[in-house]
Chain A
Amino acid sequence: MNLSIRKINAILQLKLQSIITNLSIMVAPLLAIGFVLIMKMSMPKAVMTGAFLLSFGALFNSIMGGIMMGSYPLAEEKEKNTLRVLMTSSVNGAEFIIGSIIPSILMIILVNIILVPIAGIAMNKVNWPIYIIYTTLSGFISIMIGYIVGIYSKNQMQAGNISMPILLIFTMTPMFQMINKTIANIASFTYSGTIINFINDMITKKYSPSFKDITVLTIWTVLSVLIFIYAYTKHGLDSE
C-alpha cells in the first residue's frame, strides 16, 4: 500500500478542523479541564488531592476524548457519504487513518499537559517522560477502540450509543476500584487502571516503571491494534 505524505497532510488538516469544530467531540477535553477546575475550587483539598484530580482529568481526556475522536469523525464521514468521495479520490484507508490519528493524538497530549498545572501539581513532581508516554498510549488505545466502533456504526448516533458503555467502564475505573479489593485488582489490569495507579504513585511516592504496568499497556496496545486490523480488513472503513 502506497502512502503519500501529501494526501496524509491534506487529511490531517481536514480532520483537525472537523475535530475542533465538532462540539460533541470537543466536549471531552473541555469537560476534562472544566471538571478538574470546578472540583479543585469547590471541594475540600483533603478529598480532592492533586493525584485524584489529575488522574480523573487524564482519564477523561485520554479515554473519553480518544474514543470519541476515533469513532465520531469516522461515523460522521460515513453518515454524510463524504468518506466514499475521499476513497474514490485516490485516498487509501491507511492514509485516511494516519491523517486522522495525528491531530487526535496531538490534542490528547496537549490537554494532558495543560491538566497538570490545572490540577495544582508542581511541574517538578511529574515524571514527564513516563506521564506523556503512558497517557498518550492510553489515548492511542482509546482511539483504536473508537475506530473499531466507527467501523461498525453507520452514523454518529449509533457510534455514540455503542461507545457510551465502553467509555463509561474505562472512565469510571477509579470508582470501581473503591468498591472492593477484587474489583480493584481486576481494574489494575485495564489500561485505565494502570494510568490511575501510575499517577497516584508518581505524586504520593516515587514511581518506577513496573513490569506489570508495561506489560498491561503493551498487551492493550497490541490487542486494540489487532482487533482494529481485523475489523478493517473484514469490513473496510465503510461497512455498508
Chain B
Amino acid sequence: MSIISLDKVTKKNNGDYDLKNITLNIDTGSKIGIKMPPTITKTLFGIIKGTLPISSGIINREVNSIVYELNDDGLYGSYSVKKYLKLFQKIFNSSVNIPDNLQEFSLEDVENTKIKELSNDQKKRVSLFRMFISSSDLILIESPLTNLTDEGIELYLKAVDFVRKSGTTILFTSYYMEELLLLSDEVYRYNDHTGLEKTDIINEPSTVSNDNKMDKFQPQKNLKIACKLADKTIFFNPDEIDFIESINSVSNIRIGDEYYPSLLTMNELEQKLENFGFYRCHRSYLVNLQRISELISYSRNSYTLILKGPTKEKLPLSRAKMETLRKLIGA
C-alpha cells in the first residue's frame, strides 16, 4: 500500500527552484534512501509532512501521522532519558511502553542519565525512540549516521530494524551514498537539473573468481567509450573517466562535474574497462583506480573510496570487494 505519492512536485522560493521534479512513491514497509544536499532536505520533509505548500505537482497522502528529524535537531539536555521520553509520550498520547522498549534502543543502562551527558551515538537513539513513541506511519530522518562511531552505527541500525519491524516506514536522506546503502534498499539521488532519479542497486550473483581476472590482465590502448548527447556521439579515453555510475539503468560516465550517459550497460563497460584499471567497487559503481586518493572505513562492514579532484567524490565499497581492490592497487 502506498503511504504517500508525489508526482512531479516542485517547490519554488523567490523564483528559484528549491526542489524540482520530485516523483516518488513511498510504500508501506519500503526502505527508501535519497541522496540530496542538506540544504533542501528540510524543504522535502516539510512538503512530505504537509507543513510546506508546494508550487506545482500532485501529492497524495494516505496517512497523516508523519514525524521527521533533521540532523541538527536538539534534545532537552537537562532531562533524563526516561523523563524526556515520558514528555513525548504525553505529547503523542502514546501507549508505547517505555521501559519495555529501552533494550531495543540499547538505552537500558542510561535510562536515568541526563541527556547532556550522553554520547552522540546514544542521543541519536534517544531521538529515534522519541519518533518510535509517536507511533507514526512514516518517519523521515536526515543523515543519522554522520558523526557516529562504528559501534554507534551498528546499534542504530539494530534500532532502525526494530522500528521497521513494528510497522513504521522510515525514509532516510543523506549526502553520502554509503550511508544510504547501509540504511535502505532503494536509493534515489537528487539532481538540481533533472530532479529525483533512481540509482540501480542490482543484486548480482557473486563475482567470478578474481584470481583468473588478474592472470588475464593485459594492457590495451585502443578503446574509446562512446556517449551520445543529443545528436552527437562523444568518445572518451578510459583515463579521462573518473567513475561510472548506474542511474535508472543507464550507465553514466562521470568526468569532472559532468555526467554523460553511455550506450553500454554496466556489465559491458566492466568487461571492456577492467583491463584499463577500472574496478566494480559496488553494484552501481565502476571506478577508475587511478583516481582513488583515499580509502576510509566508517563502519566494520563498509568502506568508502574518496576520489581525487575538487569534488572529492565518495563511492561505496562493499566489504566483499575490499580484498580484490587491495590486490588490484597493490595496497
Interface contact A9-B90, CB-CB below 8 Å = yes
Q: Is A81 an interface residue (CB 8 A)?
A: yes
Q: How far is the CB of B123 from chain A (nearest CB, A)?
A: 12
Tell me the complex Cα distance, A40–B88, Å: 46
Interface string of B221-247 (1 = CB under 8 A from A): 000000000000000000000000000
In addition to A14-B87, A82-B75, A85-B69, 17 A-B residue pairs with Cβ atoms within 8 Å of each other are A14-B76, A17-B78, A18-B76, A18-B78, A80-B74, A81-B70, A82-B74, A82-B76, A84-B70, A85-B73, A85-B75, A88-B51, A88-B67, A89-B130, A90-B92, A90-B134, A91-B91
Contacts of B51 in A (CB 8 A): 88
- Most A CB contacts (10 A, CB to CB) among B68, B77, B91, B130 go to B91
Tell me the complex Cα distance, A10–B76, Å: 14
Interface contact A88-B49, CB-CB below 8 Å = yes
Interface contact B74-A89, CB-CB below 8 Å = no
Tell me the complex Cα distance, A203–B262, Å: 91
Q: A21-B78, A88-B49, A88-B68 are in contact. Are A6 and B90 (CB under 8 A)?
A: yes
Interface contact B87-A6, CB-CB below 8 Å = no
Q: A81-B72, A84-B73 are in contact. Are A89 and B92 (CB under 8 A)?
A: yes
Q: How far is the CB of A122 from chain B (nearest CB, A)?
A: 41
Contacts of B91 in A (CB 8 A): 6-7, 10, 86, 89-91
Interface contact B75-A89, CB-CB below 8 Å = no
Q: How would you classify the secondary structure of chain A's contact residues: helix, strand, loop or mixed? A: helix
Contacts of B74 in A (CB 8 A): 80-82, 85
Q: Which among B77, B78, B88 is the interface contact of A89 at CB below 8 angstroms? A: B88
Instruction: For the complex, count residues of A whose C-beta is within 8 A of B.
Output: 19
Interface size class of B (residues with CB under 8 A): 20 to 34
Q: How far is the CB of B20 from chain A (nearest CB, A)?
A: 23
Interface string of A1-18 (1 = CB under 8 A from B): 000001101100110011
Q: Is B297 an interface residue (CB 8 A)?
A: no
Q: Is B210 an interface residue (CB 8 A)?
A: no
B residues 42-56 with Cβ under 8 Å of A? 49, 51
B residues 71-87 with Cβ under 8 Å of A? 72-78, 87
Tell me the complex Cα distance, A18–B83, Å: 14
Interface string of B90-122 (1 = CB under 8 A from A): 111100000000000000000000000000000
Tell me the complex Cα distance, A85–B72, Å: 10
Q: How far is the CB of B124 from chain A (nearest CB, A)?
A: 13
A residues 1-52 with Cβ under 8 Å of B? 6-7, 9-10, 13-14, 17-18, 21
